[in-house]
Structure 1
Amino acid sequence: MLRQTNLSLVLRHLRDHPAQSRADIAEATGLHRATVSNLVAELLDRRLVRETGTEHAGAIGRPRRPVTLHGAHVGALGLEINVDYISAHGSDLSGRVLVERRIAFDAMAGGPDLSLRQLGRVALEAVEAMKTAGATPAGLSVAVPGLVDVANGVVTLAPNLGWHDLPLAARLSAALGPWRVPVTVDNDANLAALAEHTSGVAAGTSHLVYLTGEVGVGGGIVLDGKLLRGADGFSGEIGHLPVDPGGPRCGCGRHGCLETKVGLAALMKAAHPETSLPASDPEERAIEIARGLTAGDSRMAEAVAQVGKWLGLGGSILANLFNPRVIVVGGYFATLAEWLLPPAQTELERLVVARSASQCRFVASDLGFGAAARGAASVVVNRLIDHPTMIPDPIPRLAPH
């Protein structure tokens, strides 16, 4: 246990501080230099770190040999299943992207059985692509738009998918056949928030909220640099804040949820009330709306401005409750940011109570519609770094004599 903890400590330091000498690692971690040398030797043997050359610290003495995080043979796969698409993001231990794709899929019409079969197919195709790139996935995490019992891998409720008490982790593990790896499940907004906190436009911000911009609207909340989950792990259901009790019926069965005001389906209905639009990729729909706005479609502009005001109202509630410095918007919110965010920011500043809370700013994500899958892959990487001795050893070791 102690050795695994120390190996993890070294790996985490190298993830955050590339190209460090053994002496640098010892000084930063508080470990003895001899201990660090032994740990680095094992990590080199496992091909989880590599040496990057020599570095002369002064005119005399032995030159330092910096090491950096490696693990090119170790893969992490993140998947997201949403109302009308499935996405995959695969990387190696150092963060090198190996596969990134999204396919259109009507999960609402498919139901859980067909959805799980399709999710399994996408996973196995991604695994083959990652193996071709030289990395074997050692874990898989799935992002779902709904309430998730993370400890048991069960989707408790995903109203926009029509799923109730679905043991997704167990079912997906069975669908993957002989490929046996740990499978975890989490809320899509939580995973996207983690991706934004580590590698997005607000990377490193200790207090942020992430809002998905899909047919449904979810939120992930990071406070003091940590994801806020709540007592049962169900925090962040921002889309179901009641903002208009007399409003339209939401997919959750209630009326007037924020989602019914700012979700992509709500925008499309407001802009084209006479048209029943077929299911399509949400990014394509957002681009279609942007074209209409650029062309001067007045009805579309009015609909987007109204969504922006409701988004600002929702943002003000978050600012008053959690006092974040940044509210990062993803999905279609990010695609239409230049039209949505000005009215949203104005409404937020009008409705916040504390003057300091008015410093909170809406910003558009640059991770696209793949933020949740990216966050899912990062969860796998974190788990592997926490338990490096569980990573499959690429080099057969000789049995002791």
Structure 2
Amino acid sequence: MSRPLAGPQSLLRTLNGRAILEALARSGPQTRAELMATTGLSRTAVTQVLRMLDSAGAVAAAGVDRDTRGPAAGRVGLHPRLGFAAAVHVDHHAAHVVLVDATGAVRAEQHAAFPGNGDRVAHIAALIDGCRRALHGPLHLAVVGVPGIVTADGGIRDDLGPDGGAFRAALADTLGCAVRVENDVNLAALAELTSGAGGKLASFALLHLDDGLGAGIVLDGILHRGFSGVAGEVAYLPQTPIPIGAPIVNDAVVGDLALGLGLDVDASLVDHLAAADRGDETALQLIAEIGRRIVLIAGSVGLVLDPEAFILGGDAVHPLLVDAIEHVAAEYAAQLPLRFLVSSFGPEAPLVGAVGEAASALRASLFTGILTPPAKSSR
């Protein structure tokens, strides 16, 4: 016999419950009167839903409101032991871990370089365990941003080739929770879309520069990953006279340019930017060439996608590099106008994006579990 559809009262209670949970996640602890104003629900509805959420262990008392006139009113908030999600940013050198609760608040944070020949999974798990020692509550999920191409099933393709999802599976097994893997630049683009420089743009391309150059592409307000996750690998767009398939901008390219200019080949782009800041004319030449290459990449993307703007992220937010990019772009403005903005989060954008996605996924998971009644066992 099929299970009957939920009745109108059950559905209404679920919708009201989600409205209150979302309000508490968005604005923090509130009084009943504040919840009425936020959600538009009646006092009776708010009281009934809070009673249901309290019995489910989803909310708890959170002090009193002494700011408004009249008798002090009790505040209620999401229960502090509902649990957490991990947001992780992995680069070629280190892992940065943040634990967030359902409100999106950062509750713990750790950052450490990878050991010389250590296991990435074990290193990330150790950082997460270090964060959890000071907290009470389960870990429900993790969102991990990594360099490299990420396929729809969570597999990673990097310099060592495709891993077939081995990293995601190993981390999920070690942590004992669901793990979602994303390209780090795509997470940076999501950060700009939801709370940064791209918030008012229908379309943009984030050009994020660190060890290499990658793009996060947003079209009509939606992140475009591509069929196999390759969208945004702009560092390999052809540029004359560079051979096809050779990188246009990365650490090795910076070293090659430094060699040709008589600069330190082991210095990073950040080092050269610091030297240029001090007035080193040769370093300024290197920065100008990097800026020229980024503009040509933007021009190629612009001719295909025509985004409203390009957002410069990572090391590209340095004022000298921004100036170099805008100077070259002005030379091409008559043929192809390009608009450049600066990232709201700079090098931290991938982690900011991971935090936002982790908090959003945690809310969806928790709230669905809280509001979904257990199935009745048949006899």
Q: 1:187 to 1:353 in 2, by over 3 A?
A: farther
Q: 1:201 to 1:262 in 2, by over 3 A?
A: same
Alpha-carbon distance in structure 2 between the residues aligned to 1:200 and 1:287: 24
Alpha-carbon distance in structure 2 between the residues aligned to 1:319 and 1:33: 53
TM-score normalised over the length of structure 1? 0.73
Q: Is the 8 A contact 1:72 1:94 kept in 2?
A: no
Alpha-carbon distance in structure 2 between the residues aligned to 1:23 and 1:129: 36
1:77-226 matches, within 5 Å, as 77-105=86-114, 114=118, 117-150=119-152, 152-155=153-156, 157-159=157-159, 161-174=160-173, 176=174, 179-200=175-196, 202=198, 206-226=202-222
Of 218-227 and 15-24, deviating more is 15-24
Identify the match of residue 11 of structure 1 among 21, 26, 30.
21
Q: Is the 8 A contact 1:320 1:353 kept in 2?
A: no
Q: 1:134 to 1:261 in 2, by over 3 A?
A: same
Q: Quote the RMSD (CA, aligned, Å).
A: 3.9
TM-score normalised over the length of structure 2? 0.76
Q: Percent same amino acid at aligned positions? A: 23
Identify the match of residue 48 of structure 2 among 15, 38, 48.
38
1:60-75 matches, within 5 Å, as 71=80, 74-75=83-84
Indicate whether 1:383 and 2:361 are aligned. Answer: yes
| Corresponding letter in the other structure for 1:255 | G
Indicate whether 1:329 and 2:319 are aligned. Answer: no
User: Which structure: larger Rg?
Assistant: 2
Q: Is the 8 A contact 1:44 1:50 kept in 2?
A: no
Indicate whether 1:271 and 2:250 are aligned. Answer: no
Alpha-carbon distance in structure 2 between the residues aligned to 1:70 and 1:129: 19
Partner of 2:324: 343
Q: Give a deviation string over 1:284-305, Cα, whole Å, max 9, x none.
A: x454223311222222110111
Alpha-carbon distance in structure 2 between the residues aligned to 1:276 and 1:290: 14
| Corresponding letter in the other structure for 1:363 | V
Q: Is the 8 A contact 1:75 1:130 kept in 2?
A: no
1:47-62 matches, within 5 Å, as 47=58, 51=62, 53-54=64-65
Q: Give a deviation string over 1:68-96, Cα, whole Å, max 9, x none.
A: 56646522212222223322222222233
| Corresponding letter in the other structure for 1:127 | D
Q: 1:84 to 1:52 in 2, by over 3 A?
A: same
Q: 1:166 to 1:65 in 2, by over 3 A?
A: same
Kindly state the Cα deviation for residue 371 of structure 1 after the two structures are TM-superposed.
2.8
Partner SS for 1:333: helix
Kindly state the Cα deviation for residue 211 of structure 1 after the two structures are TM-superposed.
2.4
Identify the match of residue 245 of structure 2 among 250, 255, 258.
255
Q: Give a deviation string over 1:264-291, Cα, whole Å, max 9, x none.
A: 432233124575539xxxxxx4542233
Alpha-carbon distance in structure 1 between the residues aligned to 2:282 and 2:349: 30
Partner of 1:235: 231
Partner SS for 1:380: helix
Q: Is the 8 A contact 1:80 1:188 kept in 2?
A: yes
Q: Is the 8 A contact 1:85 1:102 kept in 2?
A: yes
Alpha-carbon distance in structure 1 between the residues aligned to 2:39 and 2:331: 46
| Corresponding letter in the other structure for 2:64 | G
Alpha-carbon distance in structure 2 between the residues aligned to 1:147 and 1:198: 22
5+ residue gaps, structure 1, are 249-253, 279-284, 393-401
Kindly state the Cα deviation for residue 10 of structure 1 after the two structures are TM-superposed.
3.5
| Corresponding letter in the other structure for 2:324 | P
Kindly state the Cα deviation for residue 365 of structure 1 after the two structures are TM-superposed.
4.1
| Corresponding letter in the other structure for 2:225 | R
| Corresponding letter in the other structure for 2:154 | G
Partner SS for 2:164: strand
Partner of 2:375: none
Kindly state the Cα deviation for residue 163 of structure 1 after the two structures are TM-superposed.
4.2
Q: How many residues align?
A: 358
Alpha-carbon distance in structure 2 between the residues aligned to 1:30 and 1:247: 61
Q: 1:234 to 1:21 in 2, by over 3 A?
A: farther
Q: Is the 8 A contact 2:214 2:232 kept in 1?
A: yes
| Corresponding letter in the other structure for 1:99 | A
